[in-house]
Amino acid sequence: MKKIYSVILLLAVMLSSCTKDETDIMTDDNSNAPALAKTRSDGSDMVEYELLPNPYTVDVIQGVYDSYNVSKTIEPTDLYVRFLPQDSLQLIALKNDYDLELFDYPLNIELPEDAVYQDPTIPEGSFTWLYTTVKPDFAFPKEIPYEVIEECYIPAEDETISPTRGGIINVEEAAFLSLGYPLEEQEPETRGKRRPEGTIRVYDDYAGAFVPVKGVKIRCRVPS
């Protein structure tokens, strides 16, 4: 279960840290995320990885509010998407012009540290699907194929529901429980949201100081 939390944590970090583009959104209505992600790991061997259910989807959060008869319409705060660049110029544009943090595997699978994900629908050596998160008003490049996999909603840290009977319900915890994720027990004084953040820096000889490193891919893992 800790491995599952580590994967969902990665997705949560991406959703809560993606940059905002101030132009209008272009939508894609033909998105169908598969139930399993397949990858080649050794020669022709095919490995299947279960796509873990995402507790931050609009439908899941809406279901939490509906289950407590709270009249609230959930609107997406983020989009979980993927791009398929056709050449190196499009890949560079995604990284530099759009400043996206790109992953070459789905964000909601548990991929072993030494494994290399290979989408079976993409020929080896070709540009593959790249996964990331964007804000709802992100302007998708017209020339680069993309899919909106899921519309997501990140609850505020103090977002709760107060039923007419019973105690206060934490929305995020209720979303996890609705998908069958058991909550990890924490001491009362340490209980709360864990939204890790930080900066990776290196020493710049020319500047004579430590500077942030841009574009580093981080995969969060919970110690066993």
Residue 209: what pLDDT?
A: 73
In this structure, is residue 206 part of a structural domain?
no
Rounded-to-10 torsion of CA 91, 96, 98, 102 = 60
In this structure, is residue 90 part of a structural domain?
yes
Structural domain count of the chain: 1
pLDDT digits (tens, 9 = 90+) for 137-192: 999 999 999 999 999 999 998 899 987 676 889 999 999 999 998 876 554 443 44
The answer to whether the beta carbons of residues 119 and 129 sit under 8 Å apart is: yes
pTM: 0.68
Residue 2 banded pLDDT, cuts 50, 70, 90? very low
Residue 93 has pLDDT above 80, yes or no: yes
Residue 5: what pLDDT?
A: 45
Residue 113: what pLDDT?
A: 78
In this structure, is residue 63 part of a structural domain?
yes
134-171 in b/e burial notation, b at 16+ Cβ within 10 A?
Answer: bbbebebbeebebbbbbbbbbbeeeeebeeeeeeebbb
Residue 8: what pLDDT?
A: 55
For the record, the structure tokens of 69 come out as 């008869």
pLDDT digits (tens, 9 = 90+) for 50-76: 888 999 999 999 999 999 999 999 999
In this structure, is residue 214 part of a structural domain?
no
* Mean pLDDT over each residue of the chain, to the nearest integer: 76
Q: Under 8 Å CB-to-CB from 115, ≥6 apart: which residues?
A: 39, 41, 47
Residue 126 banded pLDDT, cuts 50, 70, 90? very high
**Stretch among 82-96, 106-120, 128-142 having the lowest mean pLDDT:** 106-120
Which residues constitute the domain of residue 145?
Answer: 2-195
In this structure, is residue 34 part of a structural domain?
yes
